[in-house]
Amino acid sequence: GEVVWTNVQIKGQSPTPRSGHSLTGNGSGKCMLFGGCGIKDADECAVFNDTFVLTLGEPGKWELVEPLGDVPAPRWRHSATLLPDAESVLVFGGLCKGKRFNDTHVFSLDKKEWAIKECAGTPPHPRSHHTANRVDMEPDEGDASAAVEHKVLILGGYGGPGSTRDFYMDLHFLELASWTWVKVEAMKGPVPSPRSDHSAALADGKLYLYAGRGWNSKADPGYYGDMHVLDVKTMRWLEPDSEAVAADGDGDAAPAWPTLGEKVWNHSAMTIKSVPSSYMFLFGGQNAPRRYANSLSVFDSGRNKWETPKTITGAPPPPREDSPFAYDDSTKSLVLFGGWRQKWLDDVWTLNVAGICGPSYAVNTIKPVSGPFTGAAPVVLSGLLFKDSQRISVKFFTKDGKREMTVPGKFEDATHISCKSPNFEKHGALEVNVAVSIDGEPYTVNECLYQFYLNTSAKKCVAFGPGLVPRQEVGRTCSFMIQSKDSAGHYRASGGDPLRVLIDGPSGNAQPAAVVQDHQNGRYTVSYSVPIAGDYKVSVFLDENPNDANDSEAMLQGCPFKVTFEDVWAAGRVSGIAPRVRPNMEVSVLDGKLTVIPLEGEHNLRGIRPKSDKATPEPAAAEEPKAEEEGGEGEAAPVAKPQPTGPVAPAYAWQLDSAAQTWTLVEGEAAVALLCDKVAPAHQKEMQANAAFAAAAKLPAALAEGLVHPELLCASFATAASPGISAAPPITERETAADPAAALAALEPIAASPVPKAKGAGAPCPGPRSNFQTSVQQGNMLLYGGVSPEGAALDELWQLDGKGFWTQLYAAEMPKEEAKGRHTAFVDGSLLELRPGSLGDELQRVRHLPVEALGKGAGVEDALKAMDLAASLAIKEKEELTRTLTLTLGQADKADGGDNLQLLYKVKKADLDIRTKAEEIDLQFEQLVETINFLENEGVISADVAAGKRAKLEGYAEQWSGAKKAAPTVRKAIKQAADAQGSRLSEQIAAFREKSDAFALQMRASPMFELETGVDVSYKALDGFNVEVKKLEADIAAIKASTDIWEMSEALGPAVDGVAEIREELTAVKTLWDLVGVVTSTLKHWEGTLWAAINTGAMEEECKLFAKTVRSLDKRVREYGVYKGLDQVVKNFLAALPCVGDLKSMSMRERHWRQLMEITGKDIPLPFPPDFALAQLLALELHKYVDDVGEVVDRAVKEDKMEQQLAKLSMLWYGRERGREGEPLGPKSICFEFDQHRDTDIQLMRMAEENFDALEENQLLVQGMMASKYLATFEEEVTRWQRELSNVSDVLTMMSEVQRRWAYLETLFIGSEEVKKELPEDAERFVGIDVKFKVCLRGIGEVKNAVAASSRAGLLDDLNEMSDKLELCEKSLADFLESKKRIFPRFYFVATAMLLDILSNGNRPSIVASNINALMQGVKALELSGENSSMVQSMTGNEGEVVPFSKTGPLQLKGKVEIYLNDLIYKMRSELRAQLALALKDYRGKGRKRSEWLFDHVAQLVLVTTQIEWTENTETAIDKLGKGDKQALPDYSVIQVGMLSELIKMVQGDLEPLQRRKIMNMITLETHSRDINLMLIHDEVTSKDNFKWMGQLKTYWMQYPSPEAEADCWIYNCDANFNYSYEYLGCAGRLVITPLTDRIYTTATQACHLVLGCAPAGPAGTGKTETTKDMGCTLGKYVVVTNCSDQMDYRIMGNILKGLAQSGCWGCFDEFNRLLPDQLSEISQQIQLIQFALKARQPQVE
């Protein structure tokens, strides 16, 4: 790296020349200089204790500090250490005129103040020439609670106690946390010699001691040039390892730390922390007595090596000693001042070391290590200690520094920075170094190399390999290679090219995916497979500049490659009668033949049971320990013995001879039974083979279990060798990362073989499946197919070898429709497939999968060998091609077209190949070269063999080039002969056209195009025409061979199309007649089906398949007569089948069948005879009367349903079956139920809820019947039910209404003398109603049955008459009650029943008193005495508090109840007012203790009294404040706190519940009072008119509204005032008052003052209602709380408002918004009328 010396000119008052001073930098541009020895004035020398501050910058400045505090004594050769706060410097030791110091001083740069530190412990002996370093000890890992320990380490020096002098090598720590000196008593390791004038610098937890001087002797002059290293954590002097040997390289010398090779003392040294290691800089000093140095050396702590900087810019300072270093991190510079060299110096020098140390972070690696020279490639730099910043620069530069480019970087984390590579095109594809700078700091100095390369060119890249061969097999993995080349045609040496492979073919939208594996050397392997046979195009795209804004791609040369994939399965043609697909079929291999046995139901012949029900293994096997219990593998899973599953007796079986391709029908119960008996042993044998293989291969226990139960789901096929670990994603699955931070993961190299992996760790294995096929062959296990957990059929073949390696031999897609009815089995080493034919469900299609052939070549070595063989064959082809071309073109002069016509053909074809295949053949030569190179690199062929092959290719390529050059000359030479032959070909084509057209006309005139011709005759005609078409095809093929060479294919095109059309037409007719045969035989079989056995569902399903097959035939056959006839037959039958299915309905009666015969005009025997079959029914030609048949069946079904419903009605309401009207009613019929009315003998009628639901449901049912168009058959019965159910509903409704009114009025008009007295006419009317009502009830009770009882004549009229009369009685009663409410308004708040109870017992006060709590909120009971208990002595609250009428005397309850209840309200208020006056007087009495007073008075009045006192005392204090007494309110606040404390102490004692409640309420209110006063004090309120006081609820005992008025209790809030209402409310708990409560009180009182309402808003449960009630308690108001609902109307609300307006109570309406909008409007008007009346002070309102 580079360092720069600069002689800096500093302004300001600079220090005088000196040496031995200290210079300490704070890292932020400032250095402190202290002490030293030098020139004071002119030539006078002195020791200094002055302090200077050097500020670095442009320009720098010296400042002489006039410090505060205790300035240290003058000294030099002391030490100065920067403390952790970076603003304080610790000075220790030094000397002055022979005196050494060991005192400790601290200077604050910020405060410019000295302070002497009194430290604990024993300090080091006085000394100078020592070193001091600050050590920051990090806590141990895992100790999260520990903090960093800061210490100052003092090492060595010269001095001693008193006058003694000595060199030291002792070690002392000054612990800064406690300012305590600690001496290290015993240092470990080889301790250096005592010395002074040395240097010691700290780096990475180690102290590096270098050189110095000590005592001299004859053997030792006392000067040192050695180096020692101390581990400051363990206090051990370390010994160097073998790598850190002496610098002189003497192998025999003892290991020593590296040195500079010379002795030095009084030098300057400083360690600078860097990344990844630190550097120690050493300058100056003496290297011999009075020989001064100015050399600069650098020690790398990471490499343990001394070096001289490679580049030193600027002249160095003159040689000197005693000139200390300071380091400024902001400028990355060492600062040096003064020193000694035969004189004192005063110059300032800086040494910029950024080129060596760099910043505080470093770059280690870059990924990827290369990229295109066009730039913009995402890269990620890995390093250490990066910091977050928006100013990050990344520089790419050549090693000589002459070419560089800089790009912005992005911080990712502390170890990663991302960026995009620059465009290096103007410099070229070069190797560069990469450095980072953050926030303008110097660039990193670590070497980090990056290679720019030329961009890859698509036209230069070559794709080659077996995967591009034109013929491939479906389901097999194909692989080919890509060799990438740059734009200059050179091989690429790295990867990362953005390749995209597109496989375009018949797979539709789900095109096969290709896996591209990057070998990171310029070569790629592409693997792919296709699931469906057909022609595919393989295209490889390359984005040549992937990092630019253009997303365009270029195709590799030769693309697209055309590849035809053929089905691996070999199709075969079988003869004989094939079995038909059945839902349950046993398919097994018995005696080497594929055997198919149809089974009924769920029977099976293998003895397979569900896993939980498997048979227990043999006892011997059971004794063997299970593999999974032992934790090992390899034990064979026990195979269950076959269990019988019930008798199975199929009549037929089929066997397929795979060699002869012939089906054989096995008939006879004995023969089939013999086959059935062989199934289970054969299956068991297969499973035993699987178990043995699993044991030998040491497969996991779960897999071994799955292999012997293939019918069950096997969740994992993983083995130890093939665990199924998925490989890293290929680059085609990882798009180029847009975010550079993702580039690291996206560009990792991927190892790959030339073909997909089949073995080894991470190899694939089959996925979960069930119902798979297995076969053990030649030491391997084959596994085919199965069903995935999602239910998809799998078309895969896997091979498991004896070592546990899985290999996928084949994998294709199985369309869902092709999986239906498909069966497979291993037979004779191959896999056999059975599949239904295209025209039915017979297993006519048989295919073979060549298992043995698939197993060959599946490995990597086999693939490479096959590739080598293919390359050799291709070379031979090229040899033959070039030889043929050369020979043929050489004879062109003889190709005159006469006797040499064949020669003319050869020359013409050669010329055609050269013209049309030149590019293709050129590419093939290049592909062969790359193939040879690849095989050589893979070690398949030797270098010599490869060289020989390349030499051959070069020779063939030269011959090919020669042939291309000769082609134009040859073309010109044969032109005349070629043109003549072309004319002859045109004539031959025309003649053939006439011949083929004539044949087409002859074929189309054949009678085989008509359905009436019949199947047999048509098949004979088809065979004859087929022979003729084959002749035409042979002729056209011969002509086409010539026209292709003469390039006349277009002229031959119509003839080719004509023959193809004839073939297609003939094939279509053959297919059509095949379908006719299947359909005809099937329909004939169905027509013989007996009536009871007809299954129209199965027939219809298969017939739909026929119709679908007919519709799917070639469109050209739709005009044929045979097609139209077949289509009509199928449609007719398909139309008739639903009619047949409908006619099988159980609802069909004989009348319906006769109606059907009338419609069709044909007869059928009724009732049906035993041999009645489908053919007889089809004779009705149902397909012509589909709608009519549907109408008949629909009528039958609807009439049947109606008949069933009528039967249910009869059973439900009459309790008897329909049609038995003369029989008595059943006990289970619906009857009215009766309940006793109160304690009378009257039974009130009702209907059970479930019976009422049935009534409503049945009424709707009958109503539906009446609307049905099929009513005619049952019209009379349905009409009767409509009438009877309507009677039941009407009687029930009227009786319920009459009963309700009668029960309500009966108590009043029969039991209440007062009502009889007040309403005599209505009472007499009710008596008549009562008699008739009881007669009606008795009559219904005698019958009970709902229908019978409701049908009595005149019953409904009687009920209507009673209802009208009861309504008159109710109206009279309502008027009577309203009159009572007007007298005593609180009656509006009680329920009508309770009101009637009170009115009825008005002359019995004790009964009235039982309802007193509903009328007086806080009164629970009254104490009554005297005659008839009519004298009220006291009232008892809800909490048990007794309030005697001691001041106003008892109250006599006499007269009407509404009158004496008003008297009771007045008595309550008068008594409370009188007792309040007494309580207030008692409270103010002298010597009266509050703690005793509160127990002697009513709880409610106690609270009012304390509030009166608080209001008066507070206002008195405020008045005093206004007069200047500032302590008036605080003094009263102290009294408040004392009273509150007394209450708290009382409540903690032993109290009765009522007493405790009373005190708690006092605490609640007085706490609020205390808070109000504290608020007044805090806000300095000095006037009663201040709103903060006026806005409080204040209680007064005063004469209002005039001085002459009697004193009373008044409550004020702002300008609103209220007279205390004296409603007794008991001793209920009071609400805690918050500032929000105060605001609500102010709002509510102002609303009342303005005659408005108040609507507190807020979420549920926040205290709106409780706050309203609590304010009512404060004002002594009765608050009536009403929970509103949508059931309330304006009448109900009107009654409540009447009560409130007349009684003076408050109303609180909860959930007011739940009222219905129309009712809310009415209610709002009611409230508004009341408010208007109040404002107008009207005594009443209408």
Task: Calculate mean pLDDT across residues 7-19.
Answer: 93
Q: How far apart are CA 1497 and CA 1490, in angstroms?
A: 11
pLDDT of residue 839: 59
DSSP letter (8 states) at residue 321: B
Q: Is the model's pLDDT at 1072 over the cut of 70? A: yes
The 8 Å CB, 24+ separation contacts for 1712-1719 are 1712/1655, 1712/1684, 1714/1684, 1714/1685, 1714/1686, 1715/1684, 1715/1685, 1715/1686, 1715/1688, 1716/1686, 1716/1689, 1719/1688, 1719/1689, 1719/1690, 1719/1693
**Bridge partner list, 1444:** 1434
Highest mean pLDDT among 117-131, 445-459, 481-495, 888-902: 117-131
Task: Calculate mean pLDDT across residues 1119-1136.
Answer: 83
pLDDT of residue 1481: 92
| Among 542, 368, 547, residue whose Cα is nearest residue 461 | 542
The answer to whether 988 and 1036 are in contact (CB under 8 A) is no
Task: Calculate mean pLDDT across residues 1373-1379.
Answer: 83
- 1032 contact partners, CB below 8 Å, separation of at least 6: 995, 996, 999, 1059, 1062
DSSP letter (8 states) at residue 1306: H
pLDDT digits (tens, 9 = 90+) for 1013-1065: 888 888 888 888 888 888 888 888 887 777 777 777 777 788 888 888 888 88
Handedness of CA 618, 624, 625, 628 (dihedral sign): negative
pLDDT of residue 724: 61
HEC secondary structure over 663-700 = EEEEECHHHHHHHHHHHHHHHHHHHHHHHHHHHHCCCC
Token code pair at residue 585? 């079929």
pLDDT digits (tens, 9 = 90+) for 67-79: 999 999 999 999 9
Token code pair at residue 12? 């300001």
Task: Calculate mean pLDDT across residues 164-193.
Answer: 93
Q: Is the model's pLDDT at 647 over the cut of 50? A: no
C-alpha distances (whole Å) from 561 to each of 474, 485, 615, 932, 1149 are: 17, 19, 58, 20, 73
User: Which is more confident, 1071 or 97?
Assistant: 97
pLDDT of residue 1222: 65
| Among 447, 449, 398, 399, residue whose Cα is nearest residue 426 | 398
pLDDT digits (tens, 9 = 90+) for 1521-1557: 988 888 999 999 999 999 999 999 999 999 999 999 9
Q: Is the model's pLDDT at 960 over the cut of 70? A: yes
Q: How far apart are CA 798 and CA 922, in angstroms?
A: 39
Q: Is the model's pLDDT at 708 over the cut of 50? A: yes
Q: Is the model's pLDDT at 598 over the cut of 50? A: yes
The answer to whether 807 and 758 are in contact (CB under 8 A) is yes
**Bridge partner list, 268:** 283
Q: Is the model's pLDDT at 38 over the cut of 90? A: yes
pLDDT of residue 1116: 79
Task: Calculate mean pLDDT across residues 746-769.
Answer: 49
Q: Determine which of 729-738, 1099-1108, 1348-1357 has the lowest per-residue pLDDT on average.
A: 729-738
The answer to whether 625 and 639 are in contact (CB under 8 A) is no
- pLDDT-derived band of residue 245, with 50, 70 and 90 as boundaries? very low
Pairing of strands 60-65, 10-12: parallel
pLDDT of residue 247: 39
Q: How far apart are CA 1703 and CA 1523, in angstroms?
A: 46
pLDDT digits (tens, 9 = 90+) for 710-729: 999 999 999 887 776 433 33
Q: Return the amino acid letter for 1039.
A: I
**Bridge partner list, 769:** 714
Helix or strand (DSSP H, E) at 145: none
User: What mean pLDDT, rounded, does the chain reach?
Assistant: 84
pLDDT of residue 609: 52
Phi, psi angle pair for 456, to nearest 5°? -70, 140
Pairing of strands 1442-1444, 1451-1452: unpaired
Q: Determine which of 189-198, 485-494, 742-751, 1584-1593 has the lowest per-residue pLDDT on average.
A: 742-751
Q: Is the model's pLDDT at 638 over the cut of 60? A: no
DSSP letter (8 states) at residue 568: S
| Among 1152, 1137, 1149, residue whose Cα is nearest residue 1182 | 1137
Sheet holding 88-92, edge to edge: 68-69, 113-116, 104-108, 88-92, 79-82
pLDDT of residue 1623: 92
- pLDDT-derived band of residue 1677, with 50, 70 and 90 as boundaries? very high
pLDDT of residue 1472: 93
pLDDT digits (tens, 9 = 90+) for 1501-1524: 999 999 999 999 999 999 999 888
- pLDDT-derived band of residue 531, with 50, 70 and 90 as boundaries? confident
Token code pair at residue 706? 């799955």
Counting every residue, how long is the chain? Answer: 1742
pLDDT of residue 91: 97
pLDDT of residue 892: 65
Q: How far apart are CA 652 and CA 579, in angstroms?
A: 9
Handedness of CA 366, 369, 373, 379 (dihedral sign): negative
pLDDT of residue 20: 96
DSSP letter (8 states) at residue 732: G
pLDDT of residue 244: 42
Token code pair at residue 1489? 């203790």
- pLDDT-derived band of residue 1083, with 50, 70 and 90 as boundaries? confident
Q: Return the amino acid letter for 1528.
A: A
Q: Is the model's pLDDT at 1271 over the cut of 80? A: yes
User: Which is more confident, 1397 or 397?
Assistant: 397
Count of helices and strands (H, E) across the chain: 37, 75
Q: Return the amino acid letter for 1282.
A: Q
Pairing of strands 478-483, 462-464: antiparallel
Burial class from Cβ neighbours inside 10 Å (0-12, 13-18, 19+) for residue 786 reads: buried
pLDDT of residue 217: 74
- 893 contact partners, CB below 8 Å, separation of at least 6: 973
- pLDDT-derived band of residue 735, with 50, 70 and 90 as boundaries? very low
Q: Is the model's pLDDT at 238 over the cut of 60? A: yes
- 85 contact partners, CB below 8 Å, separation of at least 6: none
The answer to whether 778 and 829 are in contact (CB under 8 A) is no
Rg of the Cα atoms in the chain:
58
- 1610 contact partners, CB below 8 Å, separation of at least 6: 1595, 1596, 1597, 1598, 1600, 1617, 1618, 1619, 1620
497 three-state secondary structure: coil
Q: Is the model's pLDDT at 613 over the cut of 60? A: no
Pairing of strands 99-100, 104-108: unpaired
Burial class from Cβ neighbours inside 10 Å (0-12, 13-18, 19+) for residue 312 reads: middle
- pLDDT-derived band of residue 1121, with 50, 70 and 90 as boundaries? confident
pLDDT of residue 142: 67
How many of the other CB atoms lie within 10 Å of CB of 20? 27
Phi, psi angle pair for 1660, to nearest 5°? -65, 140
User: Which is more confident, 26 or 1145?
Assistant: 26
- 23 contact partners, CB below 8 Å, separation of at least 6: 31, 32, 33, 54, 80, 324, 325, 326, 335, 336, 337
- pLDDT-derived band of residue 1573, with 50, 70 and 90 as boundaries? very high
Q: Is the model's pLDDT at 1696 over the cut of 50? A: yes
pLDDT digits (tens, 9 = 90+) for 1258-1267: 989 888 888 8
**Bridge partner list, 12:** 62
Task: Calculate mean pLDDT across residues 427-435.
Answer: 92
- pLDDT-derived band of residue 857, with 50, 70 and 90 as boundaries? low
**Bridge partner list, 1231:** 1345
Task: Calculate mean pLDDT across residues 509-515.
Answer: 78
Task: Calculate mean pLDDT across residues 123-138.
Answer: 94
- 1526 contact partners, CB below 8 Å, separation of at least 6: none
- 1389 contact partners, CB below 8 Å, separation of at least 6: 1414, 1415, 1680, 1696, 1699, 1705
Handedness of CA 1346, 1347, 1349, 1350 (dihedral sign): positive
Name the one residue in this structure whose structure tokens are 């013999």: 674
Q: Is the model's pLDDT at 738 over the cut of 60? A: no
**DSSP string computed for 181-236:** EEE----BS-PPPP-BS-EEEEETTEEEEEEEE----SS--SEEEEEEEEETTTTE
Q: How far apart are CA 1049 and CA 1065, in angstroms?
A: 23
Q: Return the amino acid letter for 1144.
A: K
Task: Calculate mean pLDDT across residues 446-458.
Answer: 89
Q: How far apart are CA 1587 and CA 1575, in angstroms?
A: 12
- CB half-sphere exposure, 1361, CA atoms < 13 A: 13
Q: Determine which of 465-474, 850-859, 1202-1211, 1405-1414 has the lowest per-residue pLDDT on average.
A: 850-859
Q: How far apart are CA 1338 and CA 164, in angstroms?
A: 138
Q: Is the model's pLDDT at 842 over the cut of 60? A: yes
pLDDT of residue 736: 35
The answer to whether 1694 and 1730 are in contact (CB under 8 A) is no
| Among 799, 698, 786, residue whose Cα is nearest residue 758 | 799
Phi, psi angle pair for 922, to nearest 5°? -55, -45
Q: Return the amino acid letter for 1268.
A: S
Q: Return the amino acid letter for 1169.
A: P
